[in-house]
Amino acid sequence: MMPLLANVYGLPSYLLVASLLFAIGFFGVLLRKNTLVIYMCLELMLLASTLALVAFSKFNGTLDGNVFVFFVLTIAAAEVAVGLAIIVALFRQRHTVQVEELNHLKH
Amino acid sequence: MHSMLSHAILILLLPLASAALIAFFLRQRGAVASYLSTGTAGAIAAISIILLQHGERFEASVEWLRFGSFTLSLGIKYDDLAALMLFIVGFVGFLIHLFSLGYMHDDSARARFFGGLSIFMFSMIGIVLANNLFMIFIFWELVGFSSWLLINHYHQKQSAADASKKAFIVNRVGDFGFLLGIVWCYWANGTVNFTELGQLGETHGLVFSTAIPLLLFCGAMGKSAQMPLQVWLPDAMEGPTPVSALIHAATMVAAGIFMLCRINVLMVADALTVIMWVGTVTALYAALCAIVQRDIKKVLAYSTLSQLGYMVAAFGLGSLTFKHEMGGAVHEMAIAAGVGAAMFHLTTHAFFKALMFLGSGSVIHGCHHEQDIFKMGGLAKKMPVTFATFTIGVLAIIGFPFLAGFFSKDAILYLAMEKNTAVFAVLALTAVLTSFYMVRLWKITFLGVSRSEDASHAHESGLVMTLPLIILAVLSIIGATGWFGLGLYPKLAGSIAELIPEAHGSAHTTIFAVSLAVMTIGAGSALFFYKTAADDTLEVKAGGLFRLLTGLKESFDKVYDYYVAKVQQRFAMLVYFLEKFVLEGAIIGGGSGLVGLVGRGIRALYTGSLHTYVYWFLLGAVVLWAFAAGLLH
């Protein structure tokens, strides 16, 4: 713990934040029931990974990570549009977005 | 030439057209259907006579199917043999159609009956005119079908339905051998065309084998009801009586003999010996069975079997000199004598047996469908025309001098006497028995007093039924003298007539004496022995003998019943068990069960809960990671 706290502005602290964000997103996906919230948690995981990429880019002094992030964000924007559209369509069809009620593909 | 060929094609297609018209349009109109069918039969008879008058012999064929080097052709061969057979089928067929108009007048399914007769005429003429074995086989199966259809006419009767199935299945057994023989013949000789086979025979290019003629004979054994496939013919009497006359006496059952004569070029001495003995044994066996029958039609059925045995024996007797003589020419001539005798007897038999069957039909019709001869009696006065014509038929079959059966039977007996003494003895004994059971039938049916209500109210049938009887009776009288005397037959049968063995000198006297003796012994003993009573005199006086003969009659059916019920059925059960449990249960069921089980397991993974899927996804990601990290190697 000590070295980590000592280099509070170093790369590990960025990665720590990214990991925390990723963990929050991951457990959100595992535990929440609302599709919309799960979706937001998924996005959170994605952004956590982009944060890590930005941090690597800064501390390595290269642009690779930044360029990567631009592409990820672009794709993510498109993906959000599609994903939200699906959720809206699902709600219109079924009048719910709770995952425990969306179980028609059960055996 | 061309006009005659078109006549031949017309004669083949007319009955087919008639059958099709009846089947598609006239099913509910029995009267129209019966006149159409009878008219067609009349046209067939007329055309067959025109063809005879013209005297031309021709052959033509068209290719039908080609598979690589193998071709199937349909063709017409109108030679002496076909001319004779066509005349018999056409003429006797027409008379029986005419008789049926009266006999079936009140039948509710008249249209089906006459349609069946037409399809039979088509099939039978197809056999007669076919120029190759494959074509014969096609029409062979068609006559089997029409026979099934007509035996089954009273299909609401269980016994009729059973009899029709029995006839069909027993025939299939023979046809299996027939088909094998055809294929073998094609394989060995490269052709199944009769003319080409004949040419190969002349140039000594023919492959002689004992198996080919014997396999082909299997077909004749089924259709002509020779031992051991004779069981279907007596049962086939469940059909209407005109059907028994047309199909099961005069024409279809003679198809086997006709087919043998067609393939005579393939015969070898060993095969002929087998054929001769099969015919001889059948003749004797059937004659013994006929003695204990009570049903008028059954007596005639066994008599038919016996006479068919005579014809087959005559054919088989043909070549027995071959062993002692050298060269192919003698071989040819020796068989030809058998062909002549067999076809001669076939012709006369067609006349007198059709006559007697129609006569029995007239009796049955007159007695309100009573068939037991011991319930008849005294019909001579009530049905004078039937009595007179039936008497002529009986005299013809027992070989009364100068009637049809006398000449043809003598030809066969002469052939037997020259070639094989044992066969001659058996055939002579059969002739004694034939006279015995025919006179028994005649006396019990027509003489004495009426023994039942139905018989005492019997009445003579109408002209439409008696006219065919009269014509056939005339043919039964002159049907054979014509071969020699009237010069009618050279035109009718051409070279066949010259093949008939004819005794000369002392042999002639011997044969004449023998045939007179057997007839007198058989007929005389039956006349004295049987009383016109309600019980069988033989059963009363010699019960043991009677039971022995009845047992003999039933033995084949019992053996087949035992075979079917105990052997075949158990084998079928075994195969069924194998199929049901091993094939279906273990292999197919096991396979599908395994797949189903796996599916059931995998299906359990689909819980419908998104969170479970996420856990599975996590597990998958961990496994992939572990794999990528090299932990799983």
Q: Is it the case that residue B538 has pLDDT exceeding 90?
A: no
Q: What angle do CA B166, B168, B172 make, to 5 degrees?
A: 115
**Which among B598, B611, B612 is the top mutation candidate for probing chain A, defined by the most A β-carbons within 10 Å of its own β-carbon?**
B611
- 3-class DSSP assignment, residue B76: strand
Look at B610 and A99 and tell me if their CB atoms are within 8 Å: yes
Q: Collect all residues with Cβ–Cβ distance below 8 Å to B583 and sequence separation of at least 6.
A: none
Residues from chain B contacting residue A106 (CB–CB below 8 Å): 606-608
Helical H segments across B55-157, by residue range: 80-103, 110-129, 133-151
Can you give the pLDDT at residue B323? Answer: 38
Nearest to B607 among A30, A104, A106 (CB): A106
Nearest to A107 among B603, B610, B614 (CB): B603
Q: Collect all residues with Cβ–Cβ distance below 8 Å to B551 and sequence separation of at least 6.
A: none
Lowest mean per-residue pLDDT among B173-187, B308-322, B420-434: B308-322
A residues 28-67 near B, CB within 8 Å?
29-31, 38
Nearest to B614 among A29, A105, A106 (CB): A29
Q: What is the mean pLDDT of chain B?
A: 81
Instruction: Give the pLDDT mean for A10-18.
Output: 89
Instruction: Give the pLDDT mean for B124-143.
Output: 90
User: Which residue is associated with the tokens 């070295």?
Assistant: A3
Residue A88: band (very low, low, confident or very high) from pLDDT cuts 50, 70, 90 = very high
Can you give the pLDDT at residue B633? Answer: 67
Residue of B nearest to A100 (CA): B609
Look at A106 and B604 and tell me if their CB atoms are within 8 Å: no
Residues from chain A contacting residue B607 (CB–CB below 8 Å): 103, 106-107
What is the C-alpha separation between B279 and B313, in angstroms, rounded? Answer: 4
Nearest to B358 by CA among B249, B236, B444: B249
CA–CA distances in Å: residue B39 to residues A57, B25, B93, B95: 108, 17, 11, 11
Residues from chain A contacting residue B603 (CB–CB below 8 Å): 107
Is A97 in CB contact (< 8 Å) with chain B? no
Residues from chain A contacting residue B605 (CB–CB below 8 Å): 107
What is the C-alpha separation between B333 and B304, in angstroms, rounded? Answer: 28
Is pLDDT larger for residue B85 or for residue B546? B85
Lowest mean per-residue pLDDT among A13-22, A68-77, B457-466: B457-466
Look at B608 and A105 and tell me if their CB atoms are within 8 Å: yes
**Min CA distance, A52 vs chain B (Å)?**
19
Can you give the pLDDT at residue B489? Answer: 55
User: Which residue is associated with the tokens 């052997």?
Assistant: B567
Is B609 in CB contact (< 8 Å) with chain A? yes
Can you give the pLDDT at residue B562? Answer: 83
Residue pair B407/B415 in contact by the 8 Å Cβ criterion: no
Nearest to A29 by CA among A53, A52, A46: A46
Residues from chain B contacting residue A31 (CB–CB below 8 Å): 611
Give me the phi and psi of B132, to 5 degrees please.
Answer: -145, 165
What is the C-alpha separation between B399 and B501, in angstroms, rounded? Answer: 17
B74 strand-pairing partners: B62
Instruction: Give the pLDDT mean for B24-47.
Output: 86
Is pLDDT larger for residue B483 or for residue B37? B37
> Per this entry, what is the length of chain A?
107
Instruction: Give the pLDDT mean for B42-61.
Output: 82
Is B610 in CB contact (< 8 Å) with chain A? yes
CA B33 to chain centre: 26
Look at B609 and A99 and tell me if their CB atoms are within 8 Å: yes
Q: Is A107 exposed, middle or buried (0-12, 13-18, 19+ CB in 10 A)?
A: exposed
Instruction: Give the pLDDT mean for B262-289.
Output: 85
Nearest to A100 among B603, B609, B615 (CB): B609
Is B604 in CB contact (< 8 Å) with chain A? yes
Element (H, E) at B251: none
Instruction: Give the pLDDT mean for B57-86.
Output: 82
Can you give the pLDDT at residue A52? Answer: 92
**pLDDT tens-digit profile of B580-624?**
888 888 888 888 999 999 998 888 878 877 788 888 888 999 999
Question: What token pair was written down for B279?
Answer: 């015919």
**Which among A99, A101, A104 is the top mutation candidate for probing chain B, defined by the most B β-carbons within 10 Å of its own β-carbon?**
A99
What is the C-alpha separation between B275 and B417, in angstroms, rounded? Answer: 17
In chain B, what percentage of residues exceed pLDDT 70? 92
Residue B329: band (very low, low, confident or very high) from pLDDT cuts 50, 70, 90 = very low
Q: Is it the case that residue A60 has pLDDT exceeding 70?
A: yes
Helical H segments across B267-420, by residue range: 269-290, 296-317, 328-366, 379-382, 384-397, 404-419
**pLDDT tens-digit profile of B217-258?**
888 888 888 888 888 888 888 888 888 888 877 788 888 888
ipTM of the complex: 0.74
Q: Is it the case that residue B537 has pLDDT exceeding 90?
A: no
**pLDDT tens-digit profile of A75-84?**
999 999 999 9
**pLDDT tens-digit profile of B515-536?**
788 888 888 887 777 777 767 7
Can you give the pLDDT at residue B322? Answer: 40
User: Which residue is associated with the tokens 């006009």?
Assistant: B3
**pLDDT tens-digit profile of B171-218?**
888 899 999 998 888 888 888 888 888 777 777 777 777 888 888 888
Residues from chain B contacting residue A104 (CB–CB below 8 Å): 608
In chain B, what percentage of residues exceed pLDDT 90? 5
Nearest to B611 among A30, A105, A107 (CB): A30
